[in-house]
Structure 1
Amino acid sequence: MHQQSPRAIIVMGVSGAGKTSVAQLLAQRLGCAFVEGDRLHPDANVEKMAKGIPLTDEDRWPWLDLVGGELAAARARGESVVVTCSALKKVYRERLREASGGSLNFVFLAGAVDVLEKRMGERKGHFMPVSLLHSQLATLESPVNEEGVVTVDIDASLETIVDGAMTALVEQWR
């Protein structure tokens, strides 16, 4: 029987889309590692965001390199991994694809502004204020129709969102 090569998946989208919840359940279903990309942010980035200051490309490059390093390290160990990362711009996704050292799938969590605002308002203990949602939406370059990207609407239960992601990913892996 042929051995499945390790999978590298980024669950992406703006703040409030549910990246962490979706990625954790997706990793559990796939039986692989989960990495919370926000935990890789340098302290200076977290401080900026907590103050409501949007990150610049210069702020994001070192963080994206750390996320890419996690992908490459898992692949080097022969392990599959699901990582959360906003990956808002195409150039960020290209950098992550390059860093991963192999094929990379993205699960894009898409949702209406009112759904995102409601979710962000309900979160407890997260450094990202609702005020930064609109700067993230302005920065977002839709990945729809990019290679390796599946899009899932977030206006559903967690189970339904992950079911949709799994179905679309399996289809791509064929």
Structure 2
Amino acid sequence: MTLRAPGDTQLLFGTLLTQSEFVSGGGAEGGAAAGGVVDLTRDILARIPKLFNITDVEEKYPVQYYNSMNTVLRQEVIRYNRLLVVVRRTLAGVHAAAQGLAIMSAELEKCSDAFTKGIVPSVWASKSYPSMKPLGSYVSDLITRRCKQATLAPLVTSSTESMFI
């Protein structure tokens, strides 16, 4: 079998991941897989950065006709906050459901399966920037991007004329 495109490779490995079976016992936390999900969600929740304060961003970097970078920064901050809200909501939901404190909805079950397989959940991918990274690398990248956005904000106010001359 010859793989001709990155999409073929993604399809092949995606199919292999979906065919793997996970056996869980009848323990209090739903077996070893649920215990791993509890630890994983706790770890990721502890590492996820706080939301940007949109009001502060709007005040510090107002939308101006001659400075379009302020608009871009504001839009990116809003998109990033939306992603973080979805990430926090699903992580908290899966964490509670894996502990038996909440009901596992279909969306949370898909997220839990994705966590167990080490892939980014589809609900995150629908709100996220394009990425083909596995879950661990994706979370690290998510945190790094938050730090980069915070450091890029002061550059927006610097003189843009000198950058283009």
- TM-score (norm. length: structure 1): 0.24
Higher strand share: 1
More helix by share: 2
**Whose relative contact order is higher, 1 or 2, with alpha carbons under 8 Å and at least 6 apart?**
1
Structure possessing the higher radius of gyration over alpha carbons: 2
TM-score, scaled to structure 2: 0.25
